[in-house]
């Protein structure tokens, strides 16, 4: 398993860089994010019962997926083009560390279709199909 450099891999910065680490393990990208409870979205989602928003979980899976494209991103950007069959199986809360697993299912030109899942320990919390386009900057 090889750890990738997030700042060289992803164009995201500040509050939208939602991963702590990303690894490449053969044909699978693995992302990790530990939620401290201090993240900006917990202030409003929900103040008395903080839960990681589903869109943030999808973004974490998407940023993890970029590990699969590392050799194709020089001078190019990964654009999220779709989400399909996304399911939220279990809430993710402050103190949890989510581990994502993303695999390429197929490619059509510069469009990539992927399968993604996110787990806290062995509990599946989110799953879905993602698609990306790799475009010139």
Q: Which residues are catalytic?
A: 45
SS3 of 86, please?
A: strand
Rounding to the nearest 10 degrees, give the CA dihedral for residues 116, 5, 16, 14: 170
Residue 56 and residue 18: Cα distance in Å, rounded? Answer: 8
Decide if 31 contacts 100 (C-beta within 8 A): yes
Closest Cα partner for 124 from 134, 115, 136? 115
SS3 of 43, please?
A: helix
């Amino acid at each position: 398993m090889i750890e990738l450099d997030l700042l060289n891999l992803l164009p995201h910065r500040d509050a939208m860089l939602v991963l702590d680490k990303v690894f490449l393990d053969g044909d699978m990208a693995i992302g990790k994010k530990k939620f401290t409870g201090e993240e900006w979205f917990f202030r409003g989602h929900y103040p008395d019962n903080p839960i990681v928003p589903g869109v943030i979980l999808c973004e974490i899976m998407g940023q993890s997926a970029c590990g699969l494209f590392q050799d194709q991103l020089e001078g190019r950007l990964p654009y999220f083009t779709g989400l399909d069959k996304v399911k939220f199986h279990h809430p993710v809360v402050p103190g949890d560390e989510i581990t994502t697993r993303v695999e390429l299912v197929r490619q059509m030109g510069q469009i990539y279709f992927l399968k993604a899942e996110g787990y806290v320990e062995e509990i599946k919390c989110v799953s879905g199909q993602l698609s990306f386009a790799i475009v010139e900057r």
